[in-house]
Amino acid sequence: MRQAEACPTNPRFSRTQIRVNLCSPVNPAAQTTPVDVEAWADQIRKGDIRALSRAITAVESHDAHAENLLRALFPHTGHSFVIGITGAPGTGKSTLTDRLAAHYRAQQKQVGIIAVDPTSPYTGGAILGDRIRMQGHAFDAGIFIRSMATRGFLGGLARTTGEVALVLDASGKEFILIETVGVGQDEVDIVRLADCTLVLMVPGLGDDVQNMKAGLMEIADLFILNKSDREGADRVEAELEAMLHLAPDRDGWKPKIIRTVATENKGVNELAAAIEQYRESYRQSPAQKEKKLDHWKRRLLALAEDMFLRQITEGREGEAALDALAAEVAARKKDPYAAARELLARAEKSREKK
Decide if pLDDT at 87 tops 90: no
Cα–Cα dist 121/101, whole Å: 30
Q: Which residue has the higher pLDDT, 263 or 119?
A: 263
Its pTM surpasses 0.95: no
What pLDDT shows up at residue 317?
79
**pLDDT in the model for residue 22:** 35
Task: Give the pLDDT confidence of 8-63 residue by residue, as tens digits.
Answer: 333 333 333 333 333 333 444 444 457 899 999 999 999 999 999 999 999 988 88
In the chain, residues under CATH classification 3.40.50.300 are: 77-286
Rounded Cα–Cα distance for residues 228 and 261 (Å)? 6
Place 349 in a pLDDT band, splitting at 50, 70 and 90.
confident
Confidence band of 249 (pLDDT split at 50, 70, 90): confident
> Where residue 285 falls among pLDDT bands split at 50, 70, 90?
confident
Long-range contacts of 8-15 (CB under 8 A, 24+ apart): 8/57, 8/60, 8/61, 9/123, 9/124, 12/319, 13/124, 15/319
The predicted-structure confidence for 122-167, as pLDDT tens digits, reads as follows 444 444 544 555 666 767 889 999 988 765 454 456 678 889 999 9
| 117 DSSP assignment | E
pLDDT in tens, 295-322: 889 889 988 888 888 888 777 778 888 9
- What percent of the chain lies above the pLDDT cut of 70? 75
Does residue 2 carry a pLDDT above 50? no
Helices (H) and strands (E) in the chain, counts: 14, 7
What whole-number distance in Å separates Cα of residue 221 and Cα of residue 268? 16
Read off the pLDDT band of 247 (50, 70, 90): confident
Q: Which of 271, 223, 230, 225 has the alpha carbon at shortest distance from 247?
A: 223
More confident residue, 175 or 220: 175
Contact between 65 and 58 (Cβ < 8 Å): yes
- Sequence letter at residue 54: R
Question: Can you give the pLDDT at residue 276?
Answer: 96
What integer pLDDT is reported at residue 170 of this predicted model? 96
Mean pLDDT over all residues of the chain? Answer: 79
3-state secondary structure of 123: coil
pLDDT for position 228: 94
pLDDT of residue 123: 45
Closest to 66 (Cα-Cα) out of 112, 25, 18, 121: 25
Least confident residue range of 79-93, 106-120, 326-340:
106-120
Amino acid identity at 151:
R
Taking the C-alpha atoms of residue 190 and residue 186, their distance in angstroms, rounded to an integer, is 10
- Work out whether strand 175-179 and strand 196-201 pair parallel, antiparallel, or are unpaired: unpaired
Q: How confident is the model at residue 220 (pLDDT cuts 50, 70, 90)?
A: confident
Span 77-286 CATH architecture: 3-Layer(aba) Sandwich (3.40)
| Longest CA span, the chain | 66
Backbone angles phi, psi at 216, to 5 degrees: -70, -35
- How is the beta sheet containing 81-87 ordered, strand by strand? 143-149, 111-117, 175-179, 81-87, 196-201, 222-225, 256-259
User: What is the tens place of the pLDDT at every residue in 223-245?
Assistant: 999 999 999 899 889 988 888 88
Which residue, 156, 280, 179, is CA-closest to 226?
179
**DSSP-assigned letter for residue 17:** I
Give the integer Cα–Cα distance in Å for 263 and 247: 31
* H or E element in which residue 85 lies: strand 81-87
pLDDT of residue 90: 82
Whether the CB-CB separation of 21 and 152 falls below 8 Å is answered with yes
